[in-house]
Structure formats: C-alpha cells, structure tokens
Amino acid sequence: MKQVRVRFAPSPTGYLHIGGLRTALYNYLFARHNNGKFILRIEDTDRTRFVEGAIESLIESLHWAGIEYDEGVFIEDGKIVQKGEYGSYIQSERLDIYKKYVDELIEKGYAYYCFCSKERLDKVREEQKIKGLIPKYDGFCRSLSLEEARERIANGEEYVVRLKLPHNKDIKFHDLVRGDIIINTDDIDDQVLLKSDGYPTYHMAVVVDDHLMDITHIVRGEEWLASTPKHVYLYQVFGWEEPTYVHLPTVLNKERKKLSKRHGDVAVEDFREKGYLPEGLVNYLALVGWSPKDNKEIFSMEELIEEFSFERVSKTGGIFDKDKLDWVNGHHIREYDIDKLTDLSIPYLKDAGYIDDKFVKEKYSWIKAMVQTVMESISYLSEIPEKVEVLFDNKVELEDEDALNTLRGEQVPDILNAFKEELNEIEEIDEEFAKGIMKRIQKSTGVKGKNLYMPTRIALTGNNHGPELVNIIYLLGKQNILNRIDYVQENYLKD
C-alpha cells in the first residue's frame, strides 16, 4: 500500500487565515494518524499578490501551532531553506517543469493558445450574464491551428494557454467528505493553464506538483470543489493515477458567512497576540467541522492524531464560535504548566506598564503567584493586565453601591483596625501570614464568615468577588494593604 502523502500549499499573500490553519491541521492529523508524510509547498505563481515576508510569517504560525511538517520550505538561521527529495517546493522555481507539461498538452491537442484580449473577454461575459448564461470563455480561439497560433506568437502577439475540455462529457470523482460527484464539461470553463507572463495558473501547477510529489490525498477547502473536474481531466489526459480528494467545509462566523477581517480576528497572528495558547486554538479548530465519536471536547495534539478521520468531517460549514474558543482555551490555561504560563504572561504585564525586566528578575515568584491567582478567571492571556490591575493601584474604587453599604457595616472599623495591628507586628507578608491572618482577626474581633470576609475583600480590592482572599493578601504585601486601609478609612468610613 502506498504511503500517505499530503500537502499544505498556501499562497504567500499575507497572514495565515484561521481557515488555512485548520486545513493545515487536518492534513497534519491525517498524515500522523496514518504514519504518512506532510509537506509544505509554497504556491506563489500569482506574482501580483505576493507579499514580502509572508512565507516566513506563515511558517512561524505553523511552528507556533505545533503543526510540524516533514518536507518542503523551512526557516533556518533566518533564511528560507528547502528539505526533501521532491523540490523545489516553491512554485516560482518550477516554471520550466510546468512549461514542459503545457507544451505536451498542446502537442496532444488537450490545450490551445488563446489570443483574446481582456476587453473581449469582459464583453463576452457581460453578454452571457444578460442572457442568463454561466459566464465562461466562449471558445473563440479553440479552432485555431497550431501553425497559425505559432505564427501569431512569432509576431509578438500576447497569449495564454487554455485547457481544451471535451464537449458534454461527465467527469466523475469521489470525495471522502461529499461522496461521488459528477460535473458535465459543458458547465465548466476552458481554464487558463499558462498566463501571459509565463507563470502557470493554480490549476496547472497544482496537478503537476501533486503528481510529481506523489501526493496521495488532496485535502483543501470546498472553494476548490468546482475546479476539481478540470484537475481530474488533466490527470486523465496525462495518464496519471488520480489522488483521493477531500474538500473541507468552510469556516463560518455565527451568521453563517465566511470569516473575514470585517467581522473581527481571522489571522492566526491575531489570536496569538491576544494570548490564546496554541494548544487551545488547535484543539478548538479541530472541532470546527469535525466531530469525535464520543462528543469529547478537550484534546491534546496526540489525542487528536489518535482519533482523527475524514469520515467524521461534516459536509456543512463549521461555525467559528469565539465564546466556545474562549471556553476551550480557558481549560487549557488552567491545565498549563505554571512556569510556562508565567513566562507567556510577562510580556502582557510589561506592555501594561506594571512590571519591567528588573521587577521580573527580583520578583519572579511573586509574578507566578499572581498569574496562578487569576488563571481561573481568564480565557486568554491579554486579559491578565485587567484582572491584576487592582494589585497595582493603592486607590480602592468601589464596584457598586452594595460594596459601599458593606463597608459601612457596624463591625468594619474594628476589622480594619485589627488588620492594621496584625500588619504592624511583621516586617513583610509571607504565605504563612496570609493563610492565618483572617483567623486571628476573627478571634480578636469576634466577627466571622461573610461579615468578616466580604468587607475585608472590598477594602482591599473594591470588589465584592474575586480570587482567593489569601492570595490577594499575599500579593498586595504589607505596605499596599496599609495604604488601602488608610484610603478606605479616609474616603469611605468617615461621616
């Protein structure tokens, strides 16, 4: 049996879209599940859309997501390198290969030269639309002899090469997600295979590359489904073994429309910058269009590899629900190694101006305790500065009227004074002090339960609810707490 070989073949036109990451992920999971090979190929034949740095960016995004490939284009020491026996893996470096196969198609009568101008093509399509027809090339140059075409080329006329599809022929193929598909050639355009700039179109290059690179399964978005008959026909006329096709459902927003920048974050980099963990994003993306057997929702990459199959991929578009992503990512945050999570959180705290390199060096354990304190309440790491803001401001801003009423309780002055007395007995707060102080205040004041803990929390944070009070006391430290109690007594407890 042939070894499974799949590829992810993005165009370097900008950021890696979240839908593109899911396509790469499904290719990766399928390859690993079947002990196959996963290849990264760069499809850069549309030179008008090429973006400098896009190759490096998409490779970095895949690496960040933990989607590692076996062959193709890599970055080493800041330079683009290629590894594998089937290179080049960059299409713009394979032009001679495509030209050879285009010439073969022309010689065998499966393709033809076309000299139609853009103006003529636009006019033809406009007339077809008016008549209610499918806009497509009308075959004006199909009947040109090879001799006449070559003479016109010799005279300097601009041309493209088109695929000569047979009339009224059913093209059949099987898709692992959608089943058997039949499309008649009368409903398909005579696709351009070679553009006037000498570069192949996607349709020509993808077939040649997938064949020469021994790709066994073509796993891509459903937007390519309508083009697949042209690709199938090319395989047939070349006499090549056809691969297995898998067309994935589109990633949609909640309104069931295709995810786009207009509706918010769609680039992998956007989610990375917000502080989503790669484990969380990958876990959630796997579920957008695929359902595991037992409706399990939390997966490691190893578990996804074990369970993944195309049999459970949906035919309909997968809804990208940010609330569900937040829930999944929050779960991974709470399971994460605390040292790694702290290291990932530090840049957000620096950007907020709360800490600097000196602070990190001197008080790393304090920062770790702070991250551990708020990790239960966040969905992504850029939320941390807002959650810890209360620790960096000695002013106590009350959450609401209820908080003020609680502070004005009859026993609150005694509680706060007892707290100050305890603090004045020590040099600094350690974990042992933080764990025992409330019991000592309870003993000295006789106040207990909610009547003790609620006003203390409000006096220290301004909020009715929040992280464990023990943690807050430890993190604030002696001087901060004294300052806050003074502020509360001065601003909220005086008549």
The number of beta carbons lying within 10 Å of the beta carbon of residue 236 is 12
SS3 string, 16-83, reads CEHHHHHHHHHHHHHHHHCCCEEEECECCCCHHHCCCCHHHHHHHHHHHHCCCCCEEEEEECCEEEEE
Across 185-219, b (16+ Cβ under 10 Å) vs e yields beebbbbbbbbeeebbbbbbbbbbbbbebebbbbb
Q: Do 476 and 459 touch, CB atoms closer than 8 A?
A: no
DSSP notation for 140-209: TTTT--HHHHHHHHHTT---EEEE-PPTT-EEEEEETTTEEEEEEGGGS---EEE-TTSPBPHHHHHHHH
How many residues does this entry show for the chain?
Answer: 495
In whole angstroms, give the CA distance from residue 183 to residue 230: 10
Q: Which residue among the candidates 261, 296, 435, 448 is catalytic per the annotation?
A: 261
First to last CA, the chain: 86
Q: Do 44 and 76 touch, CB atoms closer than 8 A?
A: no
Say whether 261 is catalytic: yes
For 483, the 3-state DSSP assignment is: helix
Rounded (10°) CA dihedral 414, 416, 418, 424: -150
In whole angstroms, give the CA distance from residue 128 to residue 122: 10
The number of beta carbons lying within 10 Å of the beta carbon of residue 9 is 24
For 250, the 3-state DSSP assignment is: coil
Judging by beta carbons within 10 Å of its beta carbon (0-12, 13-18, 19+), is residue 59 exposed, middle or buried? Answer: buried
In whole angstroms, give the CA distance from residue 327 to residue 348: 20
In whole angstroms, give the CA distance from residue 168 to residue 218: 26
* β-strands 37-40, 5-8 pairing: parallel
| Active site members | 261
